[in-house]
Structure 1
Amino acid sequence: MTAFRISMKLAITAPLALALAACGGDAATDELEGDVIAPIEAPDGTNWGDTVNVSESDGYVLGNPEAPIKLVEYASHTCGGCASFSAQAKTSIKEYVATGVVSFEQRNLVRDPIDLTVATLVRCGAKENMQVLSDEAWGFLPQIFENVQRNQAAYETAGAAPIEQRFAGIAQAAGLIDFFAARGLSADQQLACLTDTATIQAIADNSAAQGEELNITATPTFLLNDRKLDPLGWEDLEATLQRAGARQE
């Protein structure tokens, strides 16, 4: 499915059907081959599993920022395939990250207004929590869709609101305020993030620019050391990591 090139003017116009649509990729797979790479020790007093940095591409990098094997996922928070990948693969990916040989970077490919709202909220707290909150939000995805369907009038009303009120209205209609409050983000903290239109615009702009530059049109899409992959699932992707020299501890 073609990714939604979202802008602030269009940030409420995508129908819910877009969020419910299937997602996938069509990129060609590049075979990466390499010898097994020995584990790389984290600096004293730290471990790679708790190390998070924000990249120049505005992605959140878990693990060794200088890892020789860099896995990137372009993801949407309203993509069922991304939710499945999160549930199936994240535990194993963190085991690879713990070796210092693999880093995992999550970047946004924004598809619709709900996606942009969730993307804003998972970034609202400490950077170390971004991927954790993303995974939990993917687990909540069916309920998000159900909430929006049930509160369709409120969702549509948010579209007519001034831009500084728009995303808070979407979050309320989708049940996101209570969801994130239960995970350590107060309602006031969320409101501050959801009214920060400059930051929200930056998320949308980065998504659109990178999608255009890299010809990424669907989610999830994976890059391994800057090469686009077309895995059939986690098993296929893991095999590619291992061919590149990664091993779990």
Structure 2
Amino acid sequence: MKVFKKILIFLGYLSLTGILVAYFYFATVLVYKKNQTRCQEISIHIRDSAEIPLTRTHEVLAYLGKKGWILPGKDFSEIDLYRLEKDIELFGAVRQCNAVKNINGVLRLDIWQHTPLFILESHSGVFYVTEEGFVFPLEKKEKMPLLTVHGNVPFLHNPVFRGKIDSTDVWLQDAIPFVSYICGNSFWAEKTQSIRVEAPEDIYILPKENLILSIGSTNHFIDKMNKLWEFYRVLEPRGGEARYELVDARFKDQLVCKHRKN
């Protein structure tokens, strides 16, 4: 009788243990499935941040908050990932965003940025300009170490303009290949400190030396740059920098050098 009673007690404990195990198992499964369908956290990866230090993770999170995106705790079925990507692509230097959810409830945002070619300082504001003609405002005090184009730049957009330039931005469309040439040429990239614009067809290259190089407009800029190179090849070694204050490449087939005043 005692043995039978012990067996019943053992079976009772065994049944209770089985019920508890089943309960915790199904509870865990339910929680796991719930985590799969609900956003638990956001993981932001700015893939080119080392080369282009313009966008920070906390800035993206703050931007999402301002735009009304409350993501943690929300079911993925209620999150329009395509619209989320497009909203983020409207922010600062962001060029592309890929939003992907995983089985752990993590929403991963992979971000790539626009690559600035130079800095444009106009009367309406300061902007980064890419080789593809995309313009966005410089919003931080710290600038990337890029060539600066400044002066009376014919750029009439508002200070917060962000977007691709169009056919109305004729001067900038012509200036981009010129600046790209300078930045892509090892000699001129090292030599040039900035580019000053007095008027649309009155452009000066300011080298690191106490000298002014004039090219006029950007028309036939490669021919003009080749003439300026001849100054550095022939005259600069013979004291050209000390002798001349202005080297003018505007005129066809000739280079005009203006002497310094005594």
RCO (CA 8 Å, sep 6+): is it higher in 1 or 2? 1
TM-score bucket of the superposed structures, by smaller chain: under 0.3
TM-score, length-scaled by structure 2: 0.23
TM-score, length-scaled by structure 1: 0.24
Q: Which has the higher strand share?
A: 2
Structure with higher Rg: it is 2
